[in-house]
Amino acid sequence: MGTIQKLKPRKYRSIWLSDIHLGYKGCKAEYLLDFLKTTESDILYLIGDIIDLWSVKRTMYWPQSHNNIVRTILDKAKQGTRVIYIPGNHDEQLREYAGMVFGNVEIHHEYTHVAPDGKRMLLVHGDAYDAIMKCRGVKNYIGNLGYEALLYCNRQISLIRRTFGFPYWSLSGFVKRQVKDAMEHINNFAEVVCMDAAKRGFDGVVCGHIHHADIREVRNILYCNDGDWVENCTALVEQKNGQMELIHWTEQQVTLNVNHVNITSDPVAA
C-alpha cells in the first residue's frame, strides 16, 4: 500500500476508549498502540473492560504489546493528560478503588463530562443496565420501582457470584444470544441507558460494554458508545469545539490517518 506518513499527533479535547480487554487474546493491541501514539487529548477516559481480569485469571495471557499499552497510557498521564478510569464488569475488582489515584490515573464508579457548551454527559461502562435489558426481553415494560429494583438486583447478583468465585454472568451477553435481531438488542440498550441519563438530568451519555460504536439521539439524550478493541477497533473523540466523532482504526489506518470516518451513519456495519 501507499507510503505510511508519520503524521503529527491529532489533538482532541477528549478521547473515550473502552472494552480493550488487555489480557485476552482477541485484543487488537497493535492497532490500539498505533492509535494511542497518533492521538493526544486533554482528557483520556477509559470507560471499562480495559483489563480483562477474568481472562488473565483463566489463561495467564499477557503479551508484551499489552504491557506497552499500559505503559503508553501511564506515560500520557505523567505528561499531563488527565486519565480517568471507570471500571467495567471485566475489571470490576478495580471498582473497590473508586475515588483513588494510581500513577496519575483517577478511578471512578462513574463520571460527569462537561462539554464546551456546558452540556453534561454521564460516563458509565454500561453493565449496570444488563438486568433491565433482560427484563425488557421478557416483558417490554419498565416501572420506576422495577427499574430501581433491577439495578439493585444486578449489583447483588454480581456480588454473590463474585463472592463464590463465579465469573460475572453477563445478562447482556445472555440477551444478545437470545434475541435473534442484534439490532433490537442494541436499540434497547441505547434506550435503557438514555432513560436513566434523562431521569438523572443529564444531556447525554457515553458508555461501552456492548461492543457497538454509535452516536445517536435517543429521547433527546445524546447517546455515544465508544465501541471496543476486540471486534471493531473504535474510539470516541471530542473535538475542541465539542463535536463528537467515532474513529474506526483498522487495516485501513493509513487512509484513516488522513480522514476521519464517521461510522454513525451505518450502525449495522459492526
The answer to whether the CB of 201 falls within 8 A of the CB of 220 is no
Does position 89 bind Mn ion by CB under 5 A?
yes
Question: Which residue from 44, 50, 84, 88 is in contact with Mn ion, where contact means CB under 5 A?
Answer: 88
Does position 113 bind Mn ion by CB under 5 A?
no
**31-to-22, 71, 190 alpha-carbon distances in Å:** 13, 15, 27
Smaller CB distance to Mn ion: residue 209 or 212?
A: 209
Q: Let me know if 137 is exposed, middle or buried by CB neighbors in 10 A (0-12, 13-18, 19+).
A: middle
The span from the CA of 109 to the CA of 111, in Å, is 7
CB of residue 205 to Mn ion, shortest distance in Å: 15
CB of residue 49 to Mn ion, shortest distance in Å: 4
Binding mask 201-230 for Mn ion (x = CB under 5 A): --------x---------------------
* Sign of the CA dihedral with 253 first, then 15, 18, and 22 last: positive
Does position 39 bind Mn ion by CB under 5 A?
no
Smaller CB distance to Mn ion: residue 115 or 194?
A: 194
Q: For the chain, give me the number of helices (H) and strands (E)?
A: 8, 12
The answer to whether the CB of 208 falls within 8 A of the CB of 47 is yes
Binding mask 41-70 for Mn ion (x = CB under 5 A): --------x---------------------
Q: Which of 88, 230, 90, 96 is nearest to 167 (CA)?
A: 90
CB of residue 127 to Mn ion, shortest distance in Å: 5
CB of residue 209 to Mn ion, shortest distance in Å: 4
CB of residue 27 to Mn ion, shortest distance in Å: 13
Residues that bind Mn ion (CB under 5 A): 49, 88-89, 209
